[in-house]
Structure 1
């Protein structure tokens, strides 16, 4: 049986947390496959390679700041470097950006403003306009990417619960990296998600696809993620 670790600080009153479990259960039952799901609090996470390699997928949940961001970033790096399918939503996306900036782009002081207001490279910054309980039209830059093939439409709606997002001052350095397969962006060109090239599935989204429960838009990304966990390829489960 395949095992997924959901990493984050679980709050049963948080809709985006409950919907993670609902969406995994819904898709696995619909597809008649079994998945073992373990939610691990960030400050209780064992980041040893022996422990992390026992999982077939990671989902980095909303809910920042994490109690132990270092544990989360270590796990993200392990998953990215070892080809373990991973999905990061909201805070998960934010920390995927930080991990990528530090360990791929060489911005060793990168962090989120929420974690460290004095960091040298605030790749995640407070948004000029809050996206809490907001929605917007999005598109994906590369039609051949896993994200685009998962959703299967040119534009879709993303829903948010966040005050922090990608710092567009770093747009060029991220987009010029040969490890970025695609980005999701709004109509003004602001980055709302990204996908790592050459990986079975390593996708971070500021929008929260699990809120599109059983929907026809961003929820399809979850299907694609679970397909990568089960079968090693990021295409939608029929």
Structure 2
């Protein structure tokens, strides 16, 4: 039986991260023979049947999304019900927002793209844009991400102008979410939920480095988790 994943976001055929998302899925499928399909689903179209139709979600780059509340609700359902969830770039940012609101108790936690003057701004505009930059990462020992990469460091590409507000790093570290990777300056770039089959968010865009010869390990691991659930 073919499993399906939902690519949550506002698909734009001229947006490079969306094209690389499609390509990375095909790379992983071809290399491993996975029987899986992927559909783009606008965040405005998320409803209560989402997880009846899809066995996993990839919260894609390209925010602001049309419907933040529906996006956060889908992330929460995936987190609480062991449904594979992968978030890259904007997806990572919204996974942080969901965590802040529903785990840490900051009900008014906000993202600067939607409300730049919010009192609890967990996601803020980066002082220096990361769009188009490659940066080295270090992974936490014993993290799921380190195991997937089979290494403690790697270099990844970014496509974002927003990230975690430094004022809220200490608050984020108070809960169960694991900070699984950081850049050379110690900034949080990878998160994962302990004990979950696959709940990983990256501020970078791993799909940008995927090739037919070398599918990205995170994409492959996500799809394999969906198929083997």
TM range, smaller chain: over 0.9
Structure of greater relative contact order (alpha carbons < 8 Å, 6+ residues apart): 2
> Normalization by structure 1: what TM-score?
0.91
C-alpha spacing 1:172/1:218, structure 2 compared with 1 (3 Å): farther
Corresponding position: 1:213 with 2:210: yes
Q: Which shows bigger deviation, 214-223 or 120-129?
A: 214-223
Residue equivalent to 1:8: 9
Alignment of 1:177-192 (within 5 A): 177=175, 179-192=176-189
Residue equivalent to 1:158: 156
1:166 offset after TM fit, Å? 0.8
1:44 offset after TM fit, Å? 2.0
1:20 offset after TM fit, Å? 1.1
> Normalization by structure 2: what TM-score?
0.94
Measured in 1, the distance between the counterparts of 2:173 and 2:213 equals 28
Backbone CA RMSD of aligned residues:
1.7
**Which residue, 213, 226, 229 being the options, matches 1:229?**
226
Alignment of 1:27-176 (within 5 A): 27-46=28-47, 48=48, 50-141=49-140, 143-176=141-174
Measured in 2, the distance between the counterparts of 1:226 and 1:146 equals 15
| Alignment: residue pair count | 228
Secondary structure class of the residue paired with 1:132:
coil
Measured in 2, the distance between the counterparts of 1:121 and 1:18 equals 33
Q: Please list every run of 5 or more consecutive structure 1 residues that lacks an aligned counterpart in the other structure.
A: 233-238
1:124 offset after TM fit, Å? 0.5
Which stretches of structure 1, 4 residues or more, deviate above 6 A after TM superposition? 215-218
Per-residue CA deviations over 1:24-64 (Å, capped at 9, x if unaligned) read: 12211221121121110111222x1x432431110000001
1:128 offset after TM fit, Å? 0.9
1:114 offset after TM fit, Å? 1.0
Residue equivalent to 2:197: 200
Per-residue CA deviations over 1:131-190 (Å, capped at 9, x if unaligned) read: 11111111112x21211101111211121111110112111222232x223321111110
Measured in 2, the distance between the counterparts of 1:140 and 1:167 equals 20
